[in-house]
Amino acid sequence: MDHMSGPYLIRGSVSLPEAELMWRFSRSSGPGGQHVNTSDSQVELRFDLARTEALPEVWKQRALAKLAGRLVDGVVTVRASEHRSQWRNREAAAVRLAALLAEATAPPPKPRRPTRIPRGINERRLREKKQRSDTKRGRTGRDWG
């Protein structure tokens, strides 16, 4: 019962390095009868982003920059305590870490190329604008009283 359910893919063929994951278990707050006080169901998963060899260097730099706010000495921490079983919390924490790293290592989006407005469209807009203003000008009721 101790092995995780398969490697957690980050992106492509890169997955969470099992050996570099540091687990800590502690008592969870929240529901669950008397048993909850004795079981360590809250899971804290730590991953040393700064020292890892499992990620390509480019990804690592990207992730370090993006996650700078939530790193402590280059270590990223994920907590899970929503399930009552430690096992499910471990799953949740690993999935969350994989998702976090996937997002943090994603390449920056391509810069947006501004689109040019065709001249015809602009001219039509101005023409319609002029028509509308003429219509409204014609409404000042001087002549018919």
- Give me the DSSP letters along 98-141: HHHHHHHHSPPPPPPPPPPPPHHHHHHHHHHHHHHHHHHHTTS-
| Inside any domain, residue 141 | no
The per-residue pLDDT for 143 is 63
Max mean pLDDT range (81-90, 97-106, 127-136) = 127-136
- Number of separate domains in the chain: 1
Q: Which domain holds residue 38?
A: 9-105
Is 70 exceeded by the pLDDT of residue 6? Answer: no
To 5 degrees, how large is the angle CA 97–CA 98–CA 100?
60
| Inside any domain, residue 94 | yes
| Inside any domain, residue 95 | yes
Query: What is the domain-level CATH number for residue 20?
Result: 3.30.160.20
| Inside any domain, residue 142 | no
Cα-atom radius of gyration of the chain, to the nearest Å? 29
pTM of the model: 0.58
Nearest to 16 by CA among 88, 75, 99, 78: 99
Kindly give the interhelix angle for 86-105 and 57-66, rounded to the nearest 10 degrees. 100
